[in-house]
Structure 1
């Protein structure tokens, strides 16, 4: 699989490649170029050359391309899902859902295409004023490996529908689905150069993309430390930046919650995509009065999860995406046991089945009696490990939930309207779910506070982030 530059497959200038592996088997499934600074320059140049033509097309024409692309994605969903599972590891059902989400994002912004407009204002004594919305030019994004298709959609859709051109640097672990989806856009009629994908490392391709003076906006999703680096580099060029960074989302289960729903929400919220989701449930706070019953139900549900290759029909949870993530989870388990910072209720080891030693598998794991100083409650844990803390009341739960450098998402499970209001007012998070967790819709803004980043993805307001407002004063 090659890079996409100017709508065509391209080799890397340096002629070097890196392997893309199946995390369930360790097998090499493809190779992609190690993009260089020169490759980034070529991609940005292609986007710059295509900008004037794409910006001059009507939003409705752009929307037609989106609609066709969404149609092709749905038609090819099964083969695309198999590709996504092979390089990312998630079960086929989750891969299909992610691709449906990608198509839905395109259709949503297709529907907004006709709403791109400015304002008209009478100015007493000075005639009239009106505003014009213009696209920025070349925009860019650096995307992660956990939800490579969906997050690609979040970033390219509002930019392209607004008339910008684009350069995407996907994660090195999961570039194949991004390259394939880019080719589908061209199949749908996208003009050459409007969307370019350059594979490569963050240190080389990523930094070159952020530094390039012709890139006017950067959207980054990933680890907080890297996000700070992106912001630092972008600031020197006065580029617009959106950062969607790490999360350590708390889930609060009150004593009046529907426990069956809360258990199902906790299992999906934590173990979907093997726990490798920014908005996953990463800290669980349960009222003492229902903790024993809740944990018993939760343990039973977690033990029923089938771990295996995502291509197998009966798999509930696939492998971690890479060895680094597996080693991190093993390190945390060893630390829990060594320091006695919690009790492992279930899981805590590599599962035993044929071929499990060849992939990056780990059992879904529950840990109770976790002290406040534990890394499980302080750091972002990307993996199938859920710490459980009992609390006396909502005040204690909210105080513990807010005791984090992160503020991406949070959820509260209760039937009490006063508790819902208190949780929504006091939880420090960019998105708060009530009696649900994890779902992020393209129709609403999404982003975090504190070290979870700044700026928002999705929703109609994001279009203004990809456009300049020009004010024209007219006196006749």
Structure 2
């Protein structure tokens, strides 16, 4: 753990095993924070905030810029750690670390642009709005992107003058430690950036129950999101919640054969990246009825022989298998757990799925691709929006009017047209409905990590 500028073990010596999901072997042990450790982290965050909120924005920007450059220098080393504890192939791990560096570099620029505004008022008075850091932040992140998820929270918090306690998923915690190390090597003040590993329910209860924490941010599941909302009710800390999704893809019949092939390429790459463990992964593929058979053939051609990494843990593998087994679907590819060690599950393509099957309702978060037909725009939108999630959605069409109509009708926080790469430092990330609320990334992060303070002055009475 990293508390108040010092790496340390748990005060009572307890640890938690970290497994390699490809081998099921223990690759590391990390501290299991005690209540005393959590209290120390809270005290460090409070003292760090007192210093950092008064640090010049230009100095904060310099720290973030140096951290981003250090992360780029350390991509090969960090990627090995990330791959070992999370399971994604080295090339994907390296890309994720580079994306994490982008968050640090981008928010270095934003640190000096936390603008307020002047308000018109009567002669003899002055009135303005200024943005002040919200305070110490408790940041909880998931295991599927153990570098970019902490970076998306850590970088804006530091940019806008907050301190932060990063609580990475216990399945893949060491990658976040590499980000914290880059931050401290870049000169961030002691106590500004802290990292805790431990039992998630106990950690969240202790941190959120403290009057130190002024802001909560979570990337995780809907049940965990609901738990944190309940925990925050007593002190009314504001929350930013990104709770996953079940992203639809609408593929229209105006595409040429070559365009349909490129759409199949894009969907297969995006669906099976990180074993399908991506919250904005295209997880329900709808093709217009006249082209659905051609799309299925194109997808199967591209899936044949495709190799992917393991799922994060046995629970995820078993949940994915259950979704396939209860789908009542025709299984075109995959669908059978391989023998041997590791939490592997093959790329699986489903058609003719039973109405009401769980795979069409619940976020699969794994390498399952359901393909279904739709008739027209109205039918496609009805099926696309027929889930309680609204994080991402996608459209493939060569018709601009159809694209505009589809975008207008989709219930999602992020929409791609002929494009499946949505996440960037400059773009707000978040959803609607059960996918959560609030945004991180882009200039919208200013709202997440600052509060608007209105000031009015008059000359001496």
TM-score by length of 2: 0.97
Residues 335-356 of structure 1, C-alpha deviations (whole Å, 9 max, x = no match) = 23xxxx210011111246xxxx
1:125 is displaced (CA, Å) by 4.9
1:319 to 283, 296, 310: 310
What is residue 301 of structure 1 aligned with on the other side? Answer: 302
Contact 2:326 2:357 in 1 (8 A): no
Query: 1:386 aligned to 2:369?
Result: yes
Note the aligned Cα RMSD (angstroms): 1.2
Contact 1:200 1:206 in 2 (8 A): no
Q: Return the alpha-carbon distance in structure 1 between the equivalents of residues 338 and 421 of structure 2.
A: 26
What is residue 255 of structure 1 aligned with on the other side? Answer: 253
What is residue 323 of structure 2 aligned with on the other side? Answer: 332
Q: Return the alpha-carbon distance in structure 2 between the equivalents of residues 361 and 45 of structure 1.
A: 42
Pairing 1:329-408 to 2, within 5 Å after superposition: 329-336=320-327, 341-351=328-338, 357-408=340-391
Residues 357-392 of structure 1, C-alpha deviations (whole Å, 9 max, x = no match) = 110111100000113301111001011011111111
1:217 is displaced (CA, Å) by 0.2
Residues 151-185 of structure 1, C-alpha deviations (whole Å, 9 max, x = no match) = 11111111111001110111010001111221121
1:233 is displaced (CA, Å) by 1.2
Query: 1:134 aligned to 2:132?
Result: yes
Contact 2:440 2:448 in 1 (8 A): no
What is residue 400 of structure 2 aligned with on the other side? Answer: 417
Contact 2:326 2:358 in 1 (8 A): no
What is residue 209 of structure 1 aligned with on the other side? Answer: 207
What is residue 49 of structure 2 aligned with on the other side? Answer: 51
Q: Return the alpha-carbon distance in structure 1 between the equivalents of residues 317 and 200 of structure 2.
A: 21
SS where residue 458 of structure 1 aligns? coil
Moved more, 114-123 or 401-410: 114-123
Q: Return the alpha-carbon distance in structure 2 between the equivalents of residues 141 and 112 of structure 1.
A: 20
Residues 398-445 of structure 1, C-alpha deviations (whole Å, 9 max, x = no match) = 100110011111001001112111111111111111011243111111
Q: Return the alpha-carbon distance in structure 2 between the equivalents of residues 464 and 252 of structure 1.
A: 32
SS where residue 215 of structure 2 aligns? strand
Q: Return the alpha-carbon distance in structure 1 between the equivalents of residues 124 and 382 of structure 2.
A: 54
Query: 1:245 aligned to 2:236?
Result: no
Residues 126, 234 of structure 1: CA spacing in aligned structure 2 closer, same or farther, 3 A cutoff? farther
Contact 1:250 1:401 in 2 (8 A): yes
Q: Return the alpha-carbon distance in structure 2 between the equivalents of residues 329 and 467 of structure 1.
A: 39
1:48 is displaced (CA, Å) by 0.6
Q: Which contiguous aligned blocks of 4+ residues in structure 1 show a shift greater than 6 angstroms?
A: none
Q: Return the alpha-carbon distance in structure 1 between the equivalents of residues 212 and 364 of structure 2.
A: 36
1:135 is displaced (CA, Å) by 1.1
Residues 133, 405 of structure 1: CA spacing in aligned structure 2 closer, same or farther, 3 A cutoff? same
SS where residue 208 of structure 1 aligns? helix
Q: Return the alpha-carbon distance in structure 1 between the equivalents of residues 199 and 269 of structure 2.
A: 32
Q: Return the alpha-carbon distance in structure 2 between the equivalents of residues 72 and 54 of structure 1.
A: 21
Q: Return the alpha-carbon distance in structure 2 between the equivalents of residues 406 and 117 of structure 1.
A: 33
Unaligned 5+ runs, structure 2: none
SS where residue 143 of structure 2 aligns? coil
TM-score by length of 1: 0.94
Q: Return the alpha-carbon distance in structure 1 between the equivalents of residues 383 and 197 of structure 2.
A: 41
Moved more, 4-13 or 268-277: 4-13
